[in-house]
């Protein structure tokens, strides 16, 4: 099992940012994801997956545009969005999804 699969199948929720180096909105997301990671601490892991370097992961999760954000918990996809979002928006979504 790959490190990526171990993470998304674990007990800690994982927000995966599928991005590309050449993507303008992806670059805008970087500081927002840092803020989110700082705020959430150990409650939620935030990881980035470069779609150009990991085409098998983007194909497996049908990522057709970047940025695409997917929240996983215990191997299940709980939420997904294509496009940029602020740290505050993401925090609200995570709280809502994880408490339902």
pLDDT, mean of each 10-residue run, the chain (100 residues)? 82 96 96 96 95 94 97 96 96 92
Which domain, by its residues, includes 56?
3-99
Report in angstroms the alpha-carbon separations of 65 from 9, 17, 38, 69.
24, 11, 26, 10
Backbone φ/ψ region at 56: left (φ over 0), alpha (ψ -120 to 50), beta: alpha
95: Cα within 13 Å, side-chain hemisphere = 9
Q: Which of 8, 14, 16, 23 is catalytic?
A: 23
Catalytic status, residue 26? yes
Residue-level pLDDT at 2: 76
Query: In the chain, which ranges are E strands?
Result: 14-19, 45-50, 68-73, 76-82
pLDDT at 4: 81
Query: What local confidence, expressed as pLDDT, does residue 1 receive?
Result: 61
Does the predicted model carry a pTM greater than 0.85? yes
11 three-state secondary structure? coil
Q: Are 30 and 38 in contact, with CB atoms under 8 Å apart?
A: no
User: What CATH number is given to the structural domain containing 50?
Assistant: 3.40.30.10
- Which member of 8, 15, 16, 26 is catalytic? 26
- Residue 80 has a pLDDT of 97
Structurally, how many domains does the chain consist of? 1
5 is catalytic: no
DSSP state of 63: -
């Amino acid at each position: 099992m790959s490190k990526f699969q171990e993470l998304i199948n674990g007990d800690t929720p994982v927000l995966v940012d599928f991005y590309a180096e050449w993507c303008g909105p992806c670059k805008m997301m970087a500081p927002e994801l840092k803020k989110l990671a700082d705020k959430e601490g150990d409650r939620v892991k935030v990881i980035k997956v470069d779609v150009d370097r990991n085409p098998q992961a983007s194909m497996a999760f049908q990522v057709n545009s970047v940025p695409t954000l997917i929240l996983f918990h215990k191997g299940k996809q709980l939420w997904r969005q294509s496009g940029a979002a602020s740290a505050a928006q993401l925090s609200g979504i995570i709280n809502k999804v994880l408490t339902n």
